[in-house]
Structure 1
């Protein structure tokens, strides 16, 4: 996915999450383990969100076990850096065209 397409998908995802009652805390957070696309909060839970988009395939299949492992390490680094001890989860947000699908707790 090109950076331009990715940025568009992430912007659409952020707007959609706000409509769902989320507060967007950060975007494109980098650690030595990788990047977290969106960090949002809703009802006291931190949501670390991986955004995937596509129209000719199922984008969710690009979230592999290796990718999840990297994301979890990035999340732990973020929590440690900011000394956070609150509930959190790793989610996926799939963008197809202008439609969004939020898949919560993808590690379960």
Structure 2
């Protein structure tokens, strides 16, 4: 269970990372990156960010690009939240494929419904 401070920092980092990715993807047409969840460690030194990337077929490629530029993303985050946090956490990015999972379940359910008709 996260403490209240951890929850506030999770929301702050999620909001700021979303804004950073929104600005970076403005030039790339048809690509949308949203930060679905951020989890920060109890010592506030590490943060795991789960990204939902649209279109999902480019997800792995974009995630690798983000991971290669994690220092620049952390620097940008530090510029935005430097006044609120003493230590800017190390960032780890993961692909959030829950939407793909839900879409797959929906397809399977629709396929079963068509068989019954």
TM-score range, shorter chain: 0.3 to 0.5
- Where is the strand percentage greater, Structure 1 or Structure 2? 1
Larger Cα-atom Rg: 2
Structure (1 or 2) with the greater helix fraction: 2
TM-score relative to the length of structure 1:
0.44
